[in-house]
Amino acid sequence: FAFKLYSELVKTETGNVFYSPYSIFSALAMTYEGARGKTAEEMKNVFNFPESSVLRPNFAAIYNRINRAAEEYELRTGNALWTQKDYPFLEEYLKTVEKHYGGKAAALDFIHEAEKSRETINAFIEEQTNHKIKDLIPPGVLDELTRLVLTNAIYFKGDWKIAFNESLTVEEDFWVAPDVSVKVQMMHMCPNETVRFNHVDTGDLQILELPYKSGNVSMLIILPENIESAEASLTPEKLEEYKAQMREERMGEICLPKFDVETKYFMRETLSNLGMLTAFTGEADFSGMTGGRDLFISQVIHQAYVKVDEKGAEAAAATAVVMKLTSVPEAKVFRADRPFIFIIQEKQTGIILFMGRVSNPTV
């Protein structure tokens, strides 16, 4: 799903792209639990949901792994259901979502207090994301017809296993196009001879894995010669193929621009384009939530933030790399001075917490 969504977003987004596949998957998995018939079938195809007997325990295991305590980094996620008070949601649905997805239900009064309800939900999300995601739901989105809002928030902050040296950060060119450059703050790392990084150079692209402290989370940086052709061919299978080719190598120098990206996507059209059509119409069947066919999805809103600097990354997400000692071979250079794709992943599960593209670090 992460790659399907990426392909759809870059069709219309010419600049930087950033989102959390995990967060979107979480919120829609809770929705899927109440979907039936054609509505459920379309959602299953878009998100590649397995059968409930597989989806529920797998999701619960991942949710618990992400939220377990870690001294070296902060990574947490939370699901919530905001229901219209006194509206007859099925107890079985609410229990299922809480048990398997950690989604606790809270009753609000959208009918009489839509604006106050919006502020309550936004304040909750802001707190869960360490004040990085503000005003997730804009004014006017909730009204007296709103019956249910499902939210997921994810937050990641981690220090690099090996930090970039702040004194080496200098203004350099970043080539947003072959003949167009902008000035960026370029970070530099010159690791000592004993340190190894997972790396591959296929000729068409390089991939470098930068681990965060603890090694459970890492950032994969995909640096292609041509960003458009790389995006056109990037699939989960292709990424796994590249990862299988990665070897621990000595890097003489690693150059990466400082960047922070904030995005907001209204995803109704995007998800419809991917094949999730019925859920947004009057034909929707979410009878697993209420017993009747009275609900449909009006909008899916996703907001994400990432900041990468010499110390590490802060995102509403996370990733890791392991280093071992070998003999001292020729040192490679990794220089991200042109558009690149990045992925923050949880190593053990392979879950993509965040994914994005940096087309211009100055925007």
Residues 320-335 have pLDDT tens digits of: 122 222 333 456 788 9
Mean pLDDT confidence for 48-56: 92
The CATH number linked to 15 is 3.30.497.10
pLDDT per residue over 237-269, tens digit each? 999 999 999 999 989 899 999 998 888 888 889
For residues 166 and 63, membership in a common domain is answered with no
Structural domain that includes position 9: 2-158+260-306
- Residue 339 maps to which CATH number? 2.30.39.10
User: Residue 363: inside a domain, yes or no?
Assistant: no
Task: Please give the Cα distance from 107 to 179 (Å, whole number).
Answer: 55
- Residues 189, 54, single domain; the answer is no
Pair (248, 280) in one structural domain? no
Shared domain for 204 and 104, answered yes or no, is: no
Q: What pLDDT shows up at residue 270?
A: 93
Asked whether residue 101 is assigned to any structural domain, the reply reads yes
The residue with tokens 């797998």 is 58
Query: Is residue 105 situated within a structural domain?
Result: yes
The whole-number pLDDT of residue 324 equals: 20
Q: Are residues 7 and 23 in the same domain?
A: yes
CA 320/CA 350 separation, integer angstroms:
10
What span, in angstroms and rounded, lies between the C-alpha atoms of 74 and 167? 26
127 and 272 fall within a common domain: yes
Structure-token pair, residue 6: 């990426």
pTM value is 0.88
Nearest to 345 by CA among 236, 247, 255, 249: 236
**Each residue of 79-130: pLDDT tens digit?**
888 888 888 889 999 999 999 998 888 899 988 999 999 999 999 989 988 8
Percent of the chain with pLDDT over 90: 50
Q: Report yes or no: 186 and 254 within 8 Å, Cβ to Cβ.
A: no
Is the domain of 99 the same as that of 203?
no
* Position 311 in a domain: no
User: In the chain, pLDDT over 70 holds for what percent of residues?
Assistant: 94
Same domain, 134 and 165: no
Our count of domains for the chain comes to 2
Considering only 247-261, 297-311, 317-331, 348-362, which range has the smallest mean pLDDT?
317-331
